[in-house]
Structure 1
C-alpha cells in the first residue's frame, strides 16, 4: 500500500507540474474545460425568502439568492464570489430568434414576472467561468441581485445602488461564513458547506455595476468602525477581477486598495461605453499609501462588447465597433469573447488565491511579457500595469503634475520641433486626477527630454525597468484607416546620463503595439467619440546600451519613426519590478486588419423617436442623504425604451447634468429624474433637455419649459 500510495503521489506531482506548465502557456484548452482539471464539480442553489433586510437596505425587500459550484470531494478551498451588473429582471422568449429578451423589471419590486415572462437568471451567466474555476479547486458563489437592486430606484449619493450591492455581497459572505463554521446550509443547495471554504483566501469578480459593487463591499468592510468584520470573522479578501465596470455611481470614491486587482475593459462596450473602469487604476497608481506589492492592471480586449461576458444577456449592447473587428454578432453571445475571460480570469485567481498560488500565471497582465496563444488567437489587447506604488520601489521621473516644461523632480524639460507640448489633466476617459502631457509633432528631429536630475545624475543602478504610459489620439485620417499589427505610432526612447550623455535608442514597437483609439458604435456614429486609453510600456534598463545608470538624469523621447502623430504621455518612472523582454506583439496579425467602422443590422427596424416631457412637479423628499427636504421631479417618456444597464442615465439641461433617476411603476418607457430645488432653480428657461445612457443614441426632449411645473 505504501508503494502504491507513493506511486500515486508521484503521478499527481508530475500531473500538477504539467498542468502548471500548460497553464503558464495557456495551451491546455479542451472543448469542455479551459485547463486540465483535477476535481469533479457539483453545484446547487440557495434562495432565502425576500425580506426588508436593514443590513442591505431598510427601504425595499431584497433576497439572498445565489448559485454555488464546488469540487465534489471534501476539502478546504479558496472562495470566489461573483456579482453581475444592472439588467432587467424579467424576460420573454422570442422563439424565431431563439433568445430571451429581457425588457421588464417587475421582479425587482414584486418578486414575480408578468404572464408570458420568466425571471432573468442574471447570476447564471458566468457558469462557464464558475465551472472551470471549481474544476481547479475553488468554491464559486454567484449572487443574484434582482430583488430590490437591479433597476430599483436610485438614491441620493448611491445613484447606481452600488453601495447597496456591496452590502448585499457582505450579507451573503456573512451567511456563507455561518454555514461554513456551523453548518445548516439550506436543503435546496443539495450539499453541506461546513468546513468547505477558506475565508482567509477570498477573491471577488464584479461585472458592470457589480464591479463597483465589489469595490464597495471591500471599502464598507474596511471602513473605520465597520460592523462587518465582527459579522464575518476571519474574512480576508485578497483579489478582485472586474469586467466592464462602472465608476463614480456612489457618493464616495471606491478603489481596490489592499487587493491584487485587474480590470477587463471591453473596447467595443456599448453600455459602459466610456470605459470608466480604468479610473480606479489611475487613482491607485497615484496612491502611495499601499506599501505591500499588490499588482494593479488593466486588460483592454479589442472587439469585445459589454453584455456577452454574461451568457444570460443574449442581445448585444453594441451594434458594432470602430477601429476593431467585432468578436460578436447582435444575438446569442460570443464564444470567442468568453475565451478572453476564461484565459484571463482563471489564471488571475490561480495566481493569487489558495495555499499554493501560481504567481507565474499573472505574467499575462504584465505588458512586458508575452500573451499566450490562446489569447492572441482571439484578438489583440492593450495592457496597463503597476507592480507597486510604494515610493521605495519607484523613482518618479515625471507625472506631469507641474506646469508645462517642469518635471515632477523640479527640473526643466527640453523639447524641439513639437507643434504641441502641454501638461494637463486628462480630459477624456481617465480619472479627473490623471495628469498627462499632450504631444504633437509633424517634423523630423522633434523630441521631448524629461530631466529628473542634475547634470551629474543620480544613482539608478538599483532599478530594473523604465515604465511609462502612452495613448494615441486620432488625427487626419488615422482613425478611418486600417490599424497595423505592430501599432499605429512609433518613436525612439533613450536614457540620459551625466553631462547630457545619451544611451543608444530603443524603438517603442519593440516593446509595445500602440493602436489608434476605438469604440463601440450604437446608432449615429456622430454621437460617439473614440476612447483614448493609456497603456503601460515597460522596458528593461538593460536594453539601453552605453549609459551609466550610476549617473542617470532622465529620458529622451525622439519622434523619429513616425513622421507625424498626436499622443499622450503619462506616469514616467523607474521601478525595481523586473520587466520581460519579449512581449510577443505580432501574433494577432490576422485580426488586426479591421475596418474603421463595423456595424450590424439592428434587432428591429429603426423608428423615429417620440420623446416628451410628461410633467415637472415639486415634491417633498424623505431621503436622509438629500441636502434639502424638497425637490423637483422631471418625468420623461419615449417610444424607445430607456435600457436597464450598467451606464447611469444622465439628464443634461443646458450645461448641467443630473443622475438620480427611477423607472416609475417599472415602466421602461418612462424615466423620472429628481433634482434638488436649488439645482432646478439654476437651470434656465429654454435650456435643451437630453438623456444620455452609455453608448445609446441620446434622447432629445426639446427645450425646458418651466411654466408647466406644478
Structure 2
C-alpha cells in the first residue's frame, strides 16, 4: 500500500516501527569510533577551495530510464551537478546525494483537495488527491516536484571546497510500492546506477552522460570536461530520510560487491535517516570498513531518536571513523529546501512539534523536552558545517576538521 502524505497535523514516522519515539538529546551529542585514520586513497590534487567559484548543470535521461529492481516500476535518471568552475588538471572526489520520501508531483489543485479531504475526514477524496501527488511519471502539464534541488545549498558549498557533487532524483521510488528494506535496497541500486554512469564518463569521456548536461535555468546544452577530472576511487554518498537508510545499505560491508567496477566509496552520511527498525538482518546495514556519520534533530517530527541508535548498531565495530550528532532545535524537513515552508512548494511544511506556552520552542513528541527551534538557514548551516567537515576529513584527508567532528569546535 502506498504511503499517506504527512502534514504538520498528522505526521507519522517514515518507515519506522510502532516503537515509542525516543527523546533526542537536549544538547549537542557526539560519538566517534576510536582509531579513525586519514583516508588511504584520497588524491585531492585539485580538490581545494575553488578561487573561480562554482557552476551548476543538470542531466535528465527520462522519467522511465531506470526501473525499481524489485517491481519493475519506472524511475528517473536525473541529477543536478555542482562543481568547481575551474576543474584544473587533477581529479575531484565525487559526492552523490539522494533525497527521501516526499510528494512527487507539484499539483497545487490536488494539494488543496487533499487538505480539504483531511480536514473533512473524507478518506476516499484524500486517497484520490494523494494519488495525483504521488504519481510517477506526473500527469501531462504537472511538473515533477524537484526534491533533488533541495540540497543546492550544500552542493554549492561542497563544490567550493573542491568536490563534484550530484544530487539525484528518486521520485520514481517514492511513487513505487516498495517499502522497508526493499525501499532501502532500491535506493542503493539507484545510487550505484548513477555511480556507474559517472565512472564511464570520468574514465572514458563516454557513456550515457556524455553530451547530456544542460543549463538548469535555460535548458541549453552545456559542455563540461568532467572526463578524467572526477576521482571515482574517492566517492562520498549522502542520503536524507529514507535515503539515509538507502545510503547505509549501499555502503554496508555486505553490499560492497555491488559497487560499479572502479568505484570506491570512502565516506557515507545519513541525515535524519529513516531505517526499518524491525529488520531481522542487521548485516544489510552494517558498516565497519567505511567512515560513517549520522545526524538527527531534536525536533524531528518524522524520524525518532532510534535513528541514531540504529546507526550506532550499524557502525558497531567500525574503526574507520563513526560520528553521530543530535542537533538541538532541528526538524526533519528543513534539511531540504523544497520540503520547507519558505519555498512555498507543494507539500512543504514544518514537521517540528510546537510546545504549548513556549513560543519558538519545539520537540519531537508529546511531553518531550522543549528546545528553541532553529530557523531554516541556521539548520542548514549546521548541516553544512558537520557534513562539510566529515567529507573534507575522509575524502581529502583534512585533519583540520577533527575538532569539528569531535564536538570541540
Tell me whether the two structures share a fold, i.e. TM-score over 0.5: yes
User: How far did 1:92 drift?
Assistant: 4.4
Report the equivalent of 1:145: 170
Aligned partner of residue 187 in structure 1, secondary structure: coil
What CA distance in whole angstroms lies between the structure 2 residues aligned with 1:55 and 1:89? Answer: 16
Alignment of 1:97-136 (within 5 A): 104=130, 106=132, 109-113=135-139, 117-136=142-161
User: How far did 1:326 drift?
Assistant: 3.4
- For residues 389-433 of structure 1, what are the alpha-carbon distances to aligned partners after superposition, in whole Å with 9 as ceiling and x for unaligned? xxxxxxxxxxxxxxxxxxxxxxxxxxxxxxxxxxxxxxxxxxxxx
Report the equivalent of 2:245: 212
Report the equivalent of 2:326: 300
Q: Is the 8 A contact 2:248 2:270 kept in 1?
A: no
Q: Is the 8 A contact 1:201 1:236 kept in 2?
A: yes
Report the equivalent of 1:342: 384
Report whether the alignment pairs 1:166 with 2:166.
no
Alignment of 1:171-320 (within 5 A): 171-184=193-206, 185-189=210-214, 190=222, 191-219=224-252, 222=255, 226=257, 228-229=258-259, 232-248=260-276, 252-253=281-282, 254-285=285-316, 287=317, 290=318, 293-314=319-340, 315-320=349-354
Q: Would the alpha carbon gap of residues 58 and 193 (structure 1) be closer, same or farther in structure 2, given more than 3 Å must change?
A: farther
- For residues 262-300 of structure 1, what are the alpha-carbon distances to aligned partners after superposition, in whole Å with 9 as ceiling and x for unaligned? 111111100113442331213433x3xx5xx41211111
Q: Is the 8 A contact 1:327 1:334 kept in 2?
A: no
Report the equivalent of 2:373: 327
Report the equivalent of 2:394: 352
- For residues 131-166 of structure 1, what are the alpha-carbon distances to aligned partners after superposition, in whole Å with 9 as ceiling and x for unaligned? 01001100001011002x0142135x635x111000
Query: What TM-score, normalized by structure 1, do the two folds share?
Result: 0.41
Q: Is the 8 A contact 1:121 1:144 kept in 2?
A: yes
Q: Is the 8 A contact 1:166 1:213 kept in 2?
A: yes
Give 1 or 2: higher helix fraction.
2
Alignment of 1:301-700 (within 5 A): 301-314=327-340, 315-320=349-354, 321-322=362-363, 323-328=369-374, 334-354=376-396, 357-367=397-407, 370-371=408-409
What CA distance in whole angstroms lies between the structure 2 residues aligned with 1:52 and 1:68? Answer: 18
User: How far did 1:261 drift?
Assistant: 1.2
Report the equivalent of 1:154: 178
What CA distance in whole angstroms lies between the structure 2 residues aligned with 1:105 and 1:327? Answer: 33
User: How far did 1:343 drift?
Assistant: 1.3
RCO higher in 1 or 2 (8 Å CA, sep ≥ 6)? 2
What CA distance in whole angstroms lies between the structure 1 residues aligned with 2:303 and 2:352? Answer: 10
Q: Which moved more, 1:129-138 or 1:250-259?
A: 250-259
Report the equivalent of 1:478: none
Query: What TM-score, normalized by structure 2, do the two folds share?
Result: 0.69
What CA distance in whole angstroms lies between the structure 2 residues aligned with 1:175 and 1:283? Answer: 28
What CA distance in whole angstroms lies between the structure 2 residues aligned with 1:239 and 1:349? Answer: 7
Give 1 or 2: higher strand fraction.
1
Q: Would the alpha carbon gap of residues 252 and 221 (structure 1) be closer, same or farther in structure 2, given more than 3 Å must change?
A: closer
- Which residue among 70, 74, 97 is the counterpart of 1:61? 74
Q: Would the alpha carbon gap of residues 46 and 55 (structure 1) be closer, same or farther in structure 2, given more than 3 Å must change?
A: same
- For residues 500-545 of structure 1, what are the alpha-carbon distances to aligned partners after superposition, in whole Å with 9 as ceiling and x for unaligned? xxxxxxxxxxxxxxxxxxxxxxxxxxxxxxxxxxxxxxxxxxxxxx
What CA distance in whole angstroms lies between the structure 2 residues aligned with 1:236 and 1:304? Answer: 32
Structure 1 unaligned blocks of 5 or more? 1-34, 95-102, 372-710
Aligned partner of residue 158 in structure 1, secondary structure: helix
Higher radius of gyration, 1 or 2: 1
Runs in 1 of length 4+ with deviation above 6 angstroms?
Answer: none
Q: Is the 8 A contact 1:70 1:140 kept in 2?
A: yes
What CA distance in whole angstroms lies between the structure 1 residues aligned with 2:211 and 2:254? Answer: 25
- For residues 650-703 of structure 1, what are the alpha-carbon distances to aligned partners after superposition, in whole Å with 9 as ceiling and x for unaligned? xxxxxxxxxxxxxxxxxxxxxxxxxxxxxxxxxxxxxxxxxxxxxxxxxxxxxx
What CA distance in whole angstroms lies between the structure 2 residues aligned with 1:188 and 1:37? Answer: 21
Q: Would the alpha carbon gap of residues 255 and 113 (structure 1) be closer, same or farther in structure 2, given more than 3 Å must change?
A: farther
What CA distance in whole angstroms lies between the structure 2 residues aligned with 1:152 and 1:187? Answer: 26
Q: Is the 8 A contact 2:296 2:326 kept in 1?
A: yes
User: How far did 1:118 drift?
Assistant: 3.2
What CA distance in whole angstroms lies between the structure 2 residues aligned with 1:274 and 1:348? Answer: 21
